[in-house]
Chain A
Amino acid sequence: MNLSFDPWVWIGALLTLAIFSFLYRDNPFYKVAEHIFVGVSNGYAVTFYYHLILVPTLFNPLFRGRFILIIPFIIGALYFTRFIPKISWLVRIPIGILMGYGIGASIPATIQAYIIKQVQGTILTPYNFQRWHAGSTGIVWSIILFLGVICVVSYFYFSREQKGILKVTSRIGIFFVMIGFGAAFGYTVMARVSLLIGRLQFLLGTWLGIIK
Chain B
Amino acid sequence: MKKTLPLILVFIVGILGIIPFLIPHPYVQKTDDFFRNDIMKIVAAFALVLGLGSLIRVHYDKIKRHRENWQYSWILLVTFAVTAIIGLFGGVAGTGPLPTRISSFHFDIQSIYLNVEVPLGSTMFALLSFLMASAAYRAFRARSPEATLLLLSAFVVMIGILPFGDQISHRLPSFAQWIMDVPNVAAQRGILLGVALGMLATALKILLGIERNWLGGGE
Contacts and interface: CB of A to CB of B under 8 A. Distances in A.
A–B interface present (Cβ within 8 A)? yes
Contacts of A37: 116-117, 120-121, 124
A101 to B, nearest CB: 4
A40 B21 contact: no
B139 interface: no
Interface bin, chain A: 35 or more
Interface string A99-127: 11111111111110011001101100000
Nearest to B110: A44
Contacts of B112: 40, 43-44
Contact of B75 (A36, A79, A92, A180): A36
Given A57-B41, A92-B6, A149 B130 contact: no
A149 B82 CA distance: 53
Interface residues of B, number: 122
Most buried by B among A77, A111, A114, A186: A186
Contact of A180 (B128, B161, B187): B187
Contacts of B120: 15-16, 19, 33-34, 36-37, 40
B167 interface: no
A100 B12 contact: yes
Contact of A95 (B76, B118, B181, B214): B214
Contact of B13 (A104, A114, A155): A104
Interface in A31-83: 31-54, 57-58, 68-69, 71-73, 75-77, 79-80, 82-83
Interface of B is mostly: helix
A110 B203 contact: yes
B188 to A, nearest CB: 6
Interface string B99-121: 00000010001011111111111
Query: Taking each of B9, B126, B193, B206, which has the highest tally of chain A beta carbons within 10 Å of its own beta carbon?
Result: B126
B46 A76 contact: yes
Contacts of A110: 196, 199-200, 203
A191 B204 CA distance: 36
B115 A40 contact: no
Given A46-B88, A101-B17, A151-B186, 18 more contacts: A15-B116, A16-B119, A23-B127, A34-B72, A35-B76, A39-B75, A39-B76, A40-B117, A76-B43, A80-B53, A82-B50, A92-B215, A100-B12, A115-B193, A132-B181, A152-B186, A173-B190, A182-B150
26 contacts: A36-B116, A42-B83, A43-B79, A43-B86, A44-B87, A45-B48, A72-B40, A89-B218, A92-B5, A92-B6, A94-B43, A95-B214, A97-B13, A100-B17, A105-B21, A107-B18, A114-B195, A119-B193, A122-B189, A145-B185, A149-B190, A152-B191, A180-B183, A183-B184, A192-B128, A192-B132
Interface of B: 2-3, 5-7, 9-18, 21-22, 35-36, 38-50, 52-53, 55, 57, 69, 72-73, 75-84, 86-88, 91-92, 105, 109, 111-130, 132, 136, 146-147, 149-158, 161, 178-197, 199-200, 203-204, 206-207, 214-216, 218-219
